């Protein structure tokens, strides 16, 4: 099992199996990984937590802790994570899911079904030794 918490601002424990070389090596963050929630937020927004729980297709998965608080403060009030912030947490470019007039809920569902990009980068990195790369 690999948990994206080591390379991102969110837990995302997932099982991966296969015969990729180096698949079981320890996960380590790169310089471009955003490891804290605050690093993923838009200007003027404040993280209430350093990291967030696993974000899924369910809208309430954004709420944190047993008291179910939203993870962000904006103008002194709790707020949800914006789609661009979710994309950063998962390691995608900003506005990556902004297609076909998809609403916020549909974009969260799409991201909730996705893998964490830094984890996939970690898994595939050893393949560059087997294939020509620039």
Tokens at residue 123, please?
């898994």
- Range 26-40 burial, b when 16+ CB lie within 10 A, else e: eeeeeeebbbebeeb
Q: Are strands 72-74 and 77-79 parallel, antiparallel or unpaired?
A: antiparallel
pLDDT value at position 105? 93
pLDDT value at position 108? 95
Show pLDDT as tens, one digit a residue, over the chain (134 residues): 999 999 999 999 999 999 999 898 999 998 889 999 999 999 999 999 999 999 999 988 999 988 899 999 999 999 999 999 999 999 999 999 999 999 999 999 999 999 999 999 999 999 988 887 66
Give this prediction's pTM: 0.91
Task: With CA atoms as reference, report the closest residue to 116 among 29, 46, 43.
Answer: 29
pLDDT value at position 128? 87
Rounded to whole angstroms, the Cα distance separating 6 from 33 reads: 10
- Range 67-77 burial, b when 16+ CB lie within 10 A, else e: eeebbbeeeee
pLDDT value at position 121? 95
């Amino acid at each position: 099992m690999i948990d994206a918490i080591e390379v991102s601002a969110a837990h995302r424990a997932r099982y991966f199996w296969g015969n990729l070389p180096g698949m079981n090596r320890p996960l380590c963050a790169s310089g471009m990984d955003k490891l804290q929630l605050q690093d993923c937020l838009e200007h003027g927004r404040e993280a209430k937590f350093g990291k967030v729980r696993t974000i899924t297709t369910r809208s309430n998965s954004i709420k944190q802790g047993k008291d179910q608080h939203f993870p962000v403060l904006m103008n002194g009030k709790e707020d949800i994570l914006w789609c661009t912030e979710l994309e950063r947490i998962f390691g995608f470019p900003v506005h990556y899911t902004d297609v076909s007039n998809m609403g916020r809920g549909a974009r969260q569902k799409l991201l909730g079904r996705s893998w964490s990009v830094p984890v996939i980068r970690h898994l595939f990195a050893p393949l560059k030794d087997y294939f020509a790369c620039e």
